[in-house]
């Protein structure tokens, strides 16, 4: 799907107070940035920001960073943030490939991945945000008890993600192929894509994975 360009979005993001500029400078010191000791949750590929804005509103004792590489999409999240009093939410315009440039070892408590680009061609598999290459990046920044939560309606991508997690040595904490009809539905916050696809009758798949800890 081709992204619609939003005129002036890049310029607005470069000066916006809700966007963290030069985030590399905060690597290892995000608690200092937020001025508290609260847990840090990040969403990679946050899209228009509905999901992370709602989470930040529901959980004022958790710090959130929404990460998006496309200016024309990120600007929509910024617009939502402007309407809300959310001191626990900021944004980064960043390609996920460089995630370890801005987070230090064991600095993040949770990673959210929602309806990520499936990169359907086999030769692009390593670009998928749930590939073993990306899981190795998350392993470096997550706390030992941290977790990755992934949602999608793409069955092929979901099966691939489960296999990659197993190959990479991650523990599958829970998994469902029909989130909205499962025991995990209570408290679920939907994204824009989730509302669209579930409205079409597509089942939503979700998995929660964590690093295997010594027994």
What amino acid positions are annotated as catalytic residues? 117
Query: Is residue 54 within 8 Å of residue 90, measured between CB atoms?
Result: no
d(CA 3, CA 41): 26
List phi, psi (to 5°) of 76. Answer: -70, -40
Region of residue 187 (left: phi > 0; alpha: psi -120 to 50; beta: else): left
Instruction: Reduce the secondary structure of 93-134 to three states and give it as a string.
Output: ECCHHHHHHCCCCCCEEEEEEECCCCCCCHHHHHHCCCCHHH
Chain-centre distance for alpha carbon 74? 13
- Sole residue written with tokens 């995990």: 184
Query: What are the backbone angles phi and psi of residue 131, rounded to the nearest 5°?
Result: -75, 165
């Amino acid at each position: 799907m081709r992204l619609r360009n939003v005129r002036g979005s890049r310029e607005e993001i470069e000066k916006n107070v809700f966007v963290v500029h030069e985030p590399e400078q905060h690597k290892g010191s995000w608690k200092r940035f937020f001025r508290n000791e609260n847990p840090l949750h990040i969403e990679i590929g946050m899209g228009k920001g509905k999901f992370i804005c709602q989470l930040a509103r529901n959980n004022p004792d958790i710090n959130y960073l929404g990460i998006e590489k496309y200016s024309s999409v990120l600007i929509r999240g910024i617009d939502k943030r402007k309407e809300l009093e959310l001191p626990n939410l900021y944004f980064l315009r960043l390609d996920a490939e460089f995630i370890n440039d801005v987070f230090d070892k064991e600095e993040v408590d949770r990673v959210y991945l929602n309806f990520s680009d499936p990169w359907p061609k086999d030769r692009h598999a390593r670009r998928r945000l749930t590939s073993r290459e990306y899981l190795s990046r998350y392993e470096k920044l997550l706390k030992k008890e941290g977790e990755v939560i992934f949602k999608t309606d793409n069955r092929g991508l979901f099966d691939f993600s489960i296999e990659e997690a197993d190959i990479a040595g991650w523990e599958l904490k829970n998994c469902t192929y029909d989130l909205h009809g499962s025991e995990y539905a209570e408290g679920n916050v939907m994204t824009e894509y989730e509302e669209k696809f579930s409205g079409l009758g597509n089942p939503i798949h979700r998995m929660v994975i964590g690093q295997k800890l010594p027994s």
